[in-house]
Amino acid sequence: MSPKVDTEMFKSLESTTGGPEKTTGSPFAFLTALGIGFLIVAGATTGGVFTMRKLTENNIEKLESEIAKYRETLELTSVREMLRLDSRIAMAVNLLAQHTDATVGGVFDVLEYYTIEGVRFTTFSYTPSSRTLTLTADAKNDLIFAEQLAVFEKSGFFSNVSFDSLSISAQQENIGFTLTLTFSKNPPPFASRFGEDSGAINPATESNNKENNNE
């Protein structure tokens, strides 16, 4: 005869302990969920950074392209302006070459060519409207002073040669004077730089001829 199992005792134990023990979840489940969440956030952040970087690179490339176009336009404009300015300068030079009696460069050339040895100019003033050249000068002696006036009068470049404020230095025998030269409206050809066909008198040649004749 098999023994009887007291089922009432088991029921009493279940009621005392609160029923059968429930199985709890794995402690790694929370970490797994946390890791997945971190990966999602990191992926989103990385994607945002990549997108921002791409936009920045595109903006930089666009800006560099605009700068390059602006630079090309600026360089082209500068070249055009330089060519235009060079053309204007060339035209001005040609125009001045045709009116050498009114140019300062022409005045200096004429003055340099017709000034004889022993004469020194200390001041210079030129008035283009009246074609008048006013000079303060010193001559080594009275003979050189007279010869200088004669050279200017025979040159053909001056319609009037006059002087005033004559002074004599007792110590050095220099002749001080103020010379006024008025350029002729129709001077001899000047473009040849006083070539043989210009009709200009060379003061140096004249002085040498005088010395040879005296010998």
Instruction: Assess if residue 38 is contained within a domain.
Output: no
Are 109 and 180 found together in one domain? Answer: yes
What confidence score (pLDDT) does residue 129 get?
Answer: 81
Q: Residue 89: which domain range?
A: 44-98
Closest CA to 156 of 192, 195, 201, 193: 201
Instruction: Assess if residue 133 is contained within a domain.
Output: yes
Instruction: Assess if residue 21 is contained within a domain.
Output: no
What confidence score (pLDDT) does residue 208 get?
Answer: 47
Instruction: Assess if residue 14 is contained within a domain.
Output: no
Instruction: Assess if residue 22 is contained within a domain.
Output: no
Number of domains in the chain: 2
Instruction: Assess if residue 25 is contained within a domain.
Output: no
Are 126 and 164 found together in one domain? Answer: yes
For the stretch 6-53, pLDDT in tens is: 555 545 545 555 555 555 555 555 556 656 665 565 555 555 555 666
Instruction: Assess if residue 27 is contained within a domain.
Output: no
- Cβ proximity of 50 and 58 under 8 Å: no
User: pTM surpassing 0.75?
Assistant: no
Are 80 and 108 found together in one domain? Answer: no
Residue 144's CATH number: 3.30.1360.100
Higher-scoring residue by pLDDT: 126, 215: 126
Are 76 and 89 found together in one domain? Answer: yes
Domain boundary among 98, 127, 144: 98
For the stretch 154-188, pLDDT in tens is: 888 888 888 888 787 776 678 889 989 888 877 66
What confidence score (pLDDT) does residue 89 get?
Answer: 63
Q: How many CA atoms lie within 13 A of 44 on its CB side?
A: 5
> Own/partner pairs for 3-10, CB < 8 Å, 24+ apart?
none
Are 134 and 48 found together in one domain? Answer: no
